[in-house]
Chain A
Amino acid sequence: MEEPSSEKKIFLEALSLPSDARASFLRENVKDSQQRQRIETLLRHHELASETFLLGSSRHGAEMTPIFTPPAKVGDFEIIERVGAGGMGIVYLATDLVLRRRIALKLLAPHLTGSDRARGQFLHEARVAARLSHPGIVPVFSFGEDNGVVYIATEYVNGCTLADRIDRAAEKTQSTDAKQRPLGQSFSIHDSLMIMAEAAEALEYAHQHSVIHRDVKPTNILLDDHGKPRITDFGIAKVLTDEATPYTSAGAGSCHYMSPEQAALRSVKVDHRSDIFSLGAVLYECLTLSVPFPGDTREEVLEQVRRAKPESPKSIRREIPHDLDTVCLKALERNPLHRYQSAAHFAADLRSIADNKPILARPPSLGRRVHETLVTRRVALISAASALGGIAIGGLSFVWASDDRPTVYIDSGQISGEVYVQTFDAVSGMFTAPLKFGRTNASHRLTPGLHRIIVWSDRQFAELSRVFAVGDHIRLSLTLHNPAIVHENMRRVEGGAKSFFDSAPSEYSSKMRNLDAFWIDKNEVSNADYRAFVEATNHRPPPIWSSEQFDARWDALPVVTVTFDDAQAYAEWAGKRLPTHLEWLRAARGTSGNLATWPTTSDLTLEDITTHANAGRVNDQVHRRWTDHPGQLEAYSQHARPVNERYGDDTVGGVVHMFGNVSEYTESPFIEPKTDPPVVHLNQRIIAGNAWGDLVASPGNLERIEQDFMTESTISRGFRCAKSDDLLQKNENHE
């Protein structure tokens, strides 16, 4: 008998080929005619065996729905009854015994509680949903484990799924003459429009928060008792700024609603437009009660998704308005560039149809030029700067359809101001000089990438930096600040020619020469500082605060377990921003090159560093990701120093704790070394300085490039803020 594993291998290779290419492949690769026949037989049987051979299948997900008896009580929740099942678990209606309310309790399928991967994925689901707070998204209350049962508690939505609604409508249709399709009563076009518009708005919110759902389908859209859609199940959602994302493959997600890029089986870039496609497929099904890409087997469906154009909804149901037909097919465009570029646009068009207003989308046959003109006119934003749309930036040229350029509306309230934009340049690793863009309370078009937006108005000031992506339509509300007040407790650092790097030329030398003067916080942001921010804005508190042992007397200690996003939000609230890595280095080393008021770099011993600078004190796991481990809190209370305590590491300029205490976020994205053209990771920012929680501290660490994802946080990382120097004089040069 032949080596069986080779038979499997050849079979699988043949199977991956188009069916008409298999025979010749086998002739060439299998000499033994008996073996060839056997493989041919297997291939035939692979086609013969239906998708349900050994298994079941159903239209809305093939999950088996295990019936098992859950414990009567899980954590603080008392289980009432089973209400549904998802890919990884079973959902129960339960009572929160403490807060005395009804909640939905999702239990990880019991056989999966032993699998770290499954638990990780379950936790991921809870964490992703916990980032989001939107009326169209089912909120997560808690995650926990009780006696081997892992659970997620979410709001209980009293209603049904959109799949139930579609199925009921389909049943009604089938019970009458199928040809006539009298859908009106069961699921009106108006209902579909409102549900889908609201679902699209909820998705837009998730996308704005860097979350891609990746499994948008009717079973994941709940309808509450008012018929409002609520998106749920972020089990395979991708967080754009996140390192750990559950496995993704064509095996994940439901094939009927999968985008072509998801169905392509390659790990291509799947972005928010994939969700828009899936939502388009759901809209299609709401309207026609049939899926856009039918097929008997999963393979057939995926093949359709990859290659076929769906039948026009209007051809299936005549009363569908022409515009709605256009909108639905636009969402289902195979090329992501031809789809709606944001869920907000999709939602807006659905609402326009509901209100009998003209839509933005045009049938492709009318030509995209018309579309662009319409869009441009509608947004009414032509600023001088939009002419910059197509230029190459720092050697990297971007190609995008002109209507896909990110648009930002800058809202400065009552006070109008001038808008300046600085663009992050990958080659220099710096922001370009500020360019005047126009006035506030208007829309501006940007290039995709990282920009710093600065607003000046009669000596009032605001600035922030954001990553703008193709298709973004973002509204930014800025509060203007008085610089004189903001500068309190900050130190001004000179920019310009002279820098300590001149004596030892390095990649930083020339960059430092181009650095503008700036301001930087004297101290790290403390718990007390951050508390004022949380109280004023309702921003989420750092996880460490919710630890039971967290002591209110630690107000003066640096705030930790904050993410980059948290730090940036704080800075913006305070009228500041985060420093760039270059600014941070310059502040740390001044112009002389001395690290601090203590001796020069070369004379420092490790002991000096750990003593003077409060760095590298902890040599176990506690400095890592915050997990509410008791040891972490203890280490924090022992080693973190009050932000205003001085222990001899002041810089010449009077900035404290640059060297040690906590490591700090910078605004600078991580750029891969030695790549040409440079590869910039906008979702990873450079961390500067040493921390008490570091394993080893070294003087060299000041310049180290440690990158981190923007949603991570640790027990020994904090931040301080910076601020651009007054632009007033400089402005005149750019008029």
Chain B
Amino acid sequence: MATATRGRITELLAATREGETDALDELYRIVHDDLRKVAARQMGRLPLKEVLQPTALVHEAYLRLIGRADLQPVDSRQFFGMLSMAMRDIMCEEARRQGSLKRGGGWRRVGLDETSASSADNTVDVLALHRALENLKQIDPEGEEIVRLRFFGGLTLQQVALVMDLSVSTAQRSWNYAKAWLHTQLTEN
């Protein structure tokens, strides 16, 4: 990692905290490129059809970023929101690239409980989900953020609640609605 980048990230983080949207854009690009590299490396290591965990990706990327920046207590909602967006975009790019693999495009999100892996619920078409989320965002931005942080950001509900400064029960209710809404969209269409 070039030291120039390290200084740059620190600057950008500071600027982001002061609400400069350009800084956020540039930070996003750096994060995105970084995630891309990590993803490529992880994908290369995994056998075919193996699952790439977005969580693992995001955490690794985050750690790399921490290593490169003099991190102040950051607004973690904004920062983590950005990471989850970068993650979503990378997964969508990957899904489009591997267009021939229809469902999930090789990107599949599974739970730790492999016994239920046969359930169709565990395989989500990333592109369809992305489209559905964009629609959800129009009517329920909070729900969209929660799903994005959980699905693409790999956060647990408790972590989402912490990051968004919601009570766990509010987050849970919002999640219930978003889940029902997305399930309707993804299965009825």
Contact = CB atoms under 8 A, between A and B. Distances in A.
A252 interface: yes
Nearest to B179: A49
Contacts of B187: 45, 48
A247 B183 contact: no
A110 B59 contact: yes
Interface residues of A, number: 55
Given A8-B140, A249-B169, A148 B66 contact: yes
Interface stretch (B26-34, B73-81, B88-96, B98-106): B73-81
A111 B76 contact: yes
Interface string A459-479: 000000000000000000000
Interface in A51-87: 52-59, 62-71, 87
Contacts of A64: 53, 55, 112, 154, 156
Query: Secondary structure of the A side of the interface?
Result: loop
A48 B183 contact: yes
Given A46-B183, A55-B109, 11 more contacts: A46-B176, A49-B121, A54-B179, A55-B111, A69-B63, A110-B66, A111-B79, A112-B76, A115-B76, A115-B162, A265-B169
Contact of A52 (B55, B116, B151): B116
A191 B41 CA distance: 46
A45 B183 contact: yes
Contacts of A65: 55, 112
Contacts of A53: 121, 179, 183
A118 interface: yes
Contacts of B80: 111, 114
Interface of B: 53, 55-56, 58-60, 62-63, 66-67, 71, 73-76, 79-80, 83, 109-113, 116, 119, 121-122, 124, 138-140, 143, 147, 150-151, 153-159, 161-163, 165, 167-169, 171-174, 176-177, 179-184, 187-188
B161 A8 contact: no
Nearest to A63: B156
12 contacts: A7-B139, A11-B177, A45-B184, A53-B183, A54-B182, A67-B59, A69-B63, A114-B75, A121-B162, A148-B66, A249-B167, A250-B169
Top 9 A-B pairs ranked by shortest CB distance?
A56-B111, A114-B76, A251-B168, A4-B139, A68-B59, A46-B180, A66-B59, A49-B183, A114-B74
Contacts of A49: 121, 179-180, 183
A249 B112 contact: no
Contacts of B110: 56
B119 A52 contact: yes
Interface in A263-281: 265
A52 B121 contact: yes
B55 A12 contact: no
A52 B53 CA distance: 15
A149 interface: yes
Nearest to B111: A56
A535 interface: no
A116 interface: yes
